[in-house]
Amino acid sequence: MTRSSEISGFYRRTIEERRALLREWADLSEEELRAYEFPPGIPAPTVDRMIENVVGVMPLPLGIATNFRINGKDYLVPMAIEEPSVVAAASNAAKVARAAGGFSTSSTPPVMIGQVQILDVPDPAAARHRILDRREELLAAANAVDPVLVKFGGGAKEVEVRLLPSSRGPMVVVHLLVDARDAGGMNAVNTMCEKLAPELARLAGGRAVLRIISNLAVHRLARARATFRAELLATPTASGSQVVDAILDAYAFAAADPFRCATHNKGIMNGVSSVVVATGNDFRAIESGAHTFAAWQASHDHAVVRPLTSYEKDRAGDLVGSIELPVPVGLIGGATAVHPTAKANVKVLGVKSARELGELLAAVGLAQNFAALRALATEGIQRGHMELHARNLAASAGARPDEVDRVAATLLEEKAIRFDRAKEIVETLHGRPAG
């Protein structure tokens, strides 16, 4: 008989019952089942309330990037990511930036956009005017939904109306601009949009359908800038000034070519997303927002996508990097307020507002990108990757913690970074003949 994944009431079962079911489904061993266990400090009931059908946790490595100095303040930056080299690269880049004073950052107020789609509007231009005429009442009605947000200086601030041609005919799309203060803003914005929708539909003479936040947070931007001194970039085979030029060439490649740009921006998100994950924020929102922002900005120049960073050489011949990206992240609400590790990470970061967190994300994104370009434009990124890979191979081949470095060094020396060779070396070390 074929197995069915239709399991009635799965959500009503306990975590233990769900695990037992999985055990049977996949014939999991005791050891495999243990991988679902909650680490000390992460209470099962907390996780069980965060999402549905919980069976365990999926811990990612959490590393701390050092050396960050932003607007004269020092930060230790928790980064949750499965990819080797990212944390080391961010720390190294921050060290170079630090020598010239560190990162300077700025940001817009934390304004998110909510969208209400209105269909079957007989006269969209007239509807637009009718809605804008009622701006004050609409903002007041939206703000009545969230008096606490308003008390803290946030709330609905503006109404915009767009007339959107579409494959299904013209649509009226209302944007509600909401200052979310220290929240990500999703709940406040969606609730306000749902509240306003019937009145907007009435004013437009149509019907309101979608009411949802936009992840293209063009009004919630953070910027960072840093100088990377040429003299600190020299390698055994290239002068600092040659490396500056090589990085500018790498940047120009990304600015000219979407295939390269996708990878360039991905490297930026290595840094940004790992801090977003570490702080319990929505990494899909920031990823989607960043990539759409890059495409949206490029569209003004009839291009496909744009690097989120840019680079130039200053009069002294040093490299100056900058970045601008949307940062829809919060410190209150959501997993940030619930997940014990996220809470500890926010405390380690010491950020006091969502804006400060957004600016830090921009600095980390710039650091990560600078590190990637520097590596790519000089020795390539594989050496650093291979060192970590060799250590991983050594450990999985059975090297004890005090032997890992030795085994990895031999693998690198022999340029034989393979599991079978790692196993041979470990067996020889342990006095067992290889083979």
The neighbouring-strand residues paired with 77 are 65
Does the annotation count 146 as an active-site position? no
Q: Does 309 bind ligand MEV (CB under 6 A)?
A: no
Site for ligand MEV in 82-101 (CB under 6 A): 83
DSSP states of 49-69: HHSSS-----PPPEEEEEEEE
Closest distance to ligand MEV from the beta carbon of 387 (Å): 15
Site for ligand MEV in 347-376 (CB under 6 A): 372, 376
Question: Active-site residue among 379, 385, 389, 427?
Answer: 385
DSSP state of 102: -
Name the amino acid, one letter, at 8: S
Closest distance to ligand MEV from the beta carbon of 322 (Å): 16
Helix (H, G, I), strand (E, B) or coil at 329: coil
Which residue sits closest to ligand MEV, CB atoms considered? 267
Which residue, 264 or 291, has its beta carbon nearer to ligand MEV? 264
What's the rounded Cα separation, in Å, for the pair 53 and 18? Answer: 8
DSSP state of 163: E
What's the rounded Cα separation, in Å, for the pair 199 and 202? Answer: 5
Closest distance to ligand MEV from the beta carbon of 270 (Å): 5
Backbone angles phi, psi at 150, to 5 degrees: -65, -40
| CA max distance for the chain | 86
Q: Which of 264, 339, 355, 391 binds ligand MEV (CB under 6 A)?
A: 264
Closest distance to ligand MEV from the beta carbon of 367 (Å): 13
- Label the pairing between strands 111-119 and 171-179: antiparallel
DSSP state of 153: T
DSSP state of 219: T
Name the amino acid, one letter, at 291: H
Q: Which of 304, 381, 416, 429 binds ligand MEV (CB under 6 A)?
A: 381
Does the annotation count 414 as an active-site position? no
What's the rounded Cα separation, in Å, for the pair 368 and 275? Answer: 12
Nearest to 326 by CA among 152, 211, 184, 228: 184
Please work out the total of residues on this chain that contact ligand MEV, with binding judged by CB under 6 A.
Answer: 9
Does the annotation count 120 as an active-site position? no
Which residue, 264 or 423, has its beta carbon nearer to ligand MEV? 264
Q: Does 267 bind ligand MEV (CB under 6 A)?
A: yes
Question: Active-site residue among 179, 282, 356, 387?
Answer: 282
Which residue, 239 or 263, has its beta carbon nearer to ligand MEV? 263
Does the annotation count 343 as an active-site position? no
Q: Which of 130, 229, 266, 343 binds ligand MEV (CB under 6 A)?
A: 266
The helix (run of H) or strand (run of E) holding residue 146 is none
What's the rounded Cα separation, in Å, for the pair 260 and 264? Answer: 6
Which residue, 134 or 266, has its beta carbon nearer to ligand MEV? 266
What's the rounded Cα separation, in Å, for the pair 359 and 224? Answer: 7
Window contacting ligand MEV (CB under 6 A); options: 20-28, 170-178, 266-274, 406-414: 266-274
What's the rounded Cα separation, in Å, for the pair 377 and 254? Answer: 13
Q: Does 385 bind ligand MEV (CB under 6 A)?
A: no
Q: Does 270 bind ligand MEV (CB under 6 A)?
A: yes
Site for ligand MEV in 40-79 (CB under 6 A): none
What's the rounded Cα separation, in Å, for the pair 331 and 422? Answer: 45
Q: Does 207 bind ligand MEV (CB under 6 A)?
A: no
Question: Active-site residue among 175, 266, 313, 389?
Answer: 266
Give catalytic residue positions: 83, 266, 282, 385
Residues near ligand MEV (CB under 6 A) are 83, 263-264, 266-267, 270, 372, 376, 381
